[in-house]
Structure 1
Amino acid sequence: MKTTAHQPSDAQSYFSAGLAARTQAAEIELNGSSVAYWTYEPVQATADTRTILVIHGFRGDHHGLLRVADQLPEMRIIMPDLPGFGSSAAFAEGKHSVEQYGAFISAFMAALGLGPDTVLLGHSFGSIIAAHFVAAHPGTVTPLILINPIATPALEGPKGIMTKLAVLYYRLAARLPRMLGLALLRSSLIVRVMSEAMAKTADKDLRRFIHGQHNSYFSAFANRDSLLESFTASVSGHVAEVAGKLTLPVLLVAGEKDEIATLPDQRHLATLLPDGVLKVIPGVGHLIHYETPGPAAGFIRSFLKDHPA
């Protein structure tokens, strides 16, 4: 295992001066593939310090959850780039499915010696991966935190048409000649349209920061095939289908204006959980991790105090 220093990619005031001092980057080989991950050590460990394993969303990497990690200086936070994204290689064998990503979590936790007191946190597509992993491996982690969780089938309901168009986009990009397909997937115009649609803040500087983050990291994927497989997984599963098996305490953090994981769907999901609680952040959509990391961290901190190791 190789460990190196790591600095946040963006030096603006959206990160604290102390974040870099907490940060270490490392690589590990798992089943023939290189996995990059970042550990954010607590400034000062206390009785309330927990280890939180973070699973990021589709086409993101560890950078997306940095502002949340920054707001939890008393916690030890571990954030891998999922296989096929960021600085991690694609899976050497098998499809990039929800089940395969669950197997990755098992292998990753075993390699790092993470026990059942580990907190598992998933954002967006990461919420699907995390929920299905917990349903299949009860007792492996506790508790579970889902930010902007995908609560219903993406191919159904009012957003189904847009999802089907996205399916065509990824399939087309996978079938075009390589350079043309990559150009389509990494189109700065398409990334910007997506970023503009999801950002809800009226703060121009924050919007500029969000667009810069998406421009820098949204196109960091291993190859077109792994991206298509991951996208297919992201629209084929959801949290509600395993909600009844999530018998551990679960925190849902939802955005009032989320158009991908809508608030009515989050409220329904909360009713399906045996031991769940829903917290709603007003004025934000699917980018809680960028726009309102402070309130999200506050909910996480309170939830973990209510559910100590």
Structure 2
Amino acid sequence: MVSVPDHVPTLIPTLGIDTRDWVYGDPAGRPIVLVHGFRGDHHGLEGIAEALAAAQPSLAIHVPDLPGFGSTPAIPGRAHDLETFGQWLVAFTENVAPDGAIILGHSFGSLVVSSALHQGARATRAILINPISAPALEGPEAFLTRLAILYYRTANALPERAARSLLGNPLIVRGMSEVMAKTHDRELRAWIHDQHRRYFSRFADSRSLLDAFRASVSHTVAEFAADYDMPTLVIAGDRDDITPLARQLDLTRLLGEPELMILPGVGHLVHYEAVADTVSRIGEFLAPALSASQESSA
């Protein structure tokens, strides 16, 4: 496997900023773009990227940090709403895959992918992992969502240093991690908690973070169902606290019965708890397209 070292991302011009893009596999291969979730960065999808590169060495796997997260700066003068994130992904994919890309989104990334498709992103295939399929202010988790809104609004009212201290509070981050992790493997749980500790608070500023949070709880993939006119794979955990499985099944009907993989005993952290199964299923989903590409280039 060939990969760009973690400390040397490629800089991709997008909407006036240089997006940091980590590439795994063959940089000259067929492009697939992986879009991470809210408050994460490229590290969240690194396990999937590395395993996919090992299994499918003909792919160029791009894992950028979203604007305002990780090493990518916020976009100056722009609200970081879903429309802006979608425009950013359109610009990014046009740069790294002018002929169209396979695009994967996890959690909030599924909303970014959906917004980009609505705004004209060229995707040959789409993969949604733990897509946001239910309104955050409805259902059994509505109360927790309102608490989260209050949390982010409180942080936004504070001076930046105090806001960052509150948003990155290790007890709050650990509590979130404990709730979302479903595995009973102690070693894996410890690793998940460490990943959240190290990477969950790498954001540009509290203002852009609040914008992104509002976007994450104000939209669902269902709003953009008509834009999924390409082969699509949905991967969901049956213990997802963010979107119940029943609502994921509702989404698949709106998407025209895409391919579906349900992972038993897994929640919202498919990208941590079920990497091998996920990559194997993605390989099956991509096999027809990759075979066609190899035949056309022969």
TM-score norm. by structure 2 comes to 0.91
Corresponding position of 2:117: 134
Measure the CA separation in 1 of the matches of 2:113 and 2:247: 18
Match of 2:86 among 102, 119, 125: 102
2:61 matched to 1:62?
A: no
Corresponding position of 2:232: 250
Q: Deviations over 1:98-118 (max 9, x none)?
A: 1111111121122334322x1
3-state SS of 1:53 partner: strand
CA contact (8 A) 2:86 2:114 kept: no
2:104 matched to 1:121?
A: yes
3-state SS of 1:86 partner: coil
Give the CA RMSD over aligned residues: 1.9
Match of 1:228 among 206, 210, 214: 210
Greater shift in the superposed pair: 298-307 or 50-59: 298-307
Structure 1 moving runs of 4+ over 4 Å: none
Residue identity in the other structure for 2:85: Y
Task: From the superposition, tell whether residues 190 and 245 of structure 1 become closer, same or farther in structure 2 (CA, over 3 Å).
Answer: same
For structure 1, the residue ranges without an aligned partner over 5 or more in a row are 9-23
CA contact (8 A) 1:31 1:92 kept: no
Corresponding position of 2:162: 180
Residue identity in the other structure for 1:68: I
TM-score norm. by structure 1 comes to 0.87
2:196 matched to 1:238?
A: no
Residue identity in the other structure for 1:120: I
Measure the CA separation in 2 of the matches of 1:129 and 1:37: 16
Cα displacement (A) at 1:247: 1.4
Equivalenced residue count is: 285
Structure whose residues are more often helix by fraction: 2
Match of 1:144 among 121, 126, 132: 126
Cα displacement (A) at 1:307: 4.3
Q: Deviations over 1:152-208 (max 9, x none)?
A: 111111111111110110000010232222111000000000000000111111111
Residue identity in the other structure for 2:5: H
CA contact (8 A) 1:90 1:226 kept: yes
Measure the CA separation in 2 of the matches of 1:241 and 1:175: 31
Corresponding position of 1:85: 69
3-state SS of 1:120 partner: strand
For structure 2, the residue ranges without an aligned partner over 5 or more in a row are 294-298
Task: From the superposition, tell whether residues 242 and 160 of structure 1 become closer, same or farther in structure 2 (CA, over 3 Å).
Answer: same
Measure the CA separation in 1 of the matches of 2:227 and 2:12: 31
Corresponding position of 1:31: 15
